[in-house]
Amino acid sequence: MAAARELIAQAHLLVEDFPPGTLEGWELGIEDLQQLNPKLVLLRISAFGRSGPLRDRQATPLTMQAASGWISARDPQRPPVQVGARISEYVAGAYGALGALTALRSPKPLWHNHARRPAGERGPPRGTPVAIRFRLRQRRCRLPDCGCST
């Protein structure tokens, strides 16, 4: 564990996809990571969220496709089949990478809970689609436009 702490102290980004509570069990929770490296960006990806009734549920590509509705969107005259690609993993990875890169470019630390906005801070209202919030954050960080906006 000492080697992991040494690496984290020098890292810019930590990507974690363990079941909820794993890092905390290793005494590498949010507060511990903040003390090791205040500038660290932590990206946490979990199949069914970090809280809630399904947080500890095991995930496979098949269960993720079933939960997201991809399997039920197939031909109703045939038995359910798995989509060829691991779409949920690709999408989670793409959004995670976008969020991590945006956070790395942010001029201030992002350790606060994004569900609550600090008093006086301006930003998009809650409920704004994630893609729009990411784009607004990218503009504030002066990231280039991808050329896909109209």
Q: What is the CATH number of the domain that holds 76?
A: 3.40.50.10540
Supply the pLDDT for residue 82.
Answer: 76
Residue 3: φ, ψ to 5°: -65, -40
Structural domain contains residue 145:
no
Structural domain contains residue 84:
yes
* Alpha carbons 16 and 150: distance in angstroms, whole number: 34
Indicate the residue type of 33.
L
Longest dimension (CA), the chain: 57
Structural domain contains residue 148:
no
Structural domain contains residue 120:
no
Predicted model pTM: 0.64
Write out the residue range of the structural domain in which residue 135 sits: 2-114+126-140
* Alpha carbons 133 and 117: distance in angstroms, whole number: 13
Q: What is the mean predicted confidence (pLDDT) over 93-122?
A: 66
Q: What is the mean predicted confidence (pLDDT) over 80-92?
A: 77
* pLDDT tens per residue, range 8-51: 999 999 999 888 889 999 999 989 999 999 889 999 888 888 88
Structural domain contains residue 48:
yes
Supply the pLDDT for residue 135.
Answer: 64
Supply the pLDDT for residue 7.
Answer: 94
What is the count of structural domains for the chain?
Answer: 1
Buried b (16+ CB within 10 A) or exposed e, 66-96: eeeebbeeeeeeeeeeeeeeeebeeebeeee
Structural domain contains residue 18:
yes
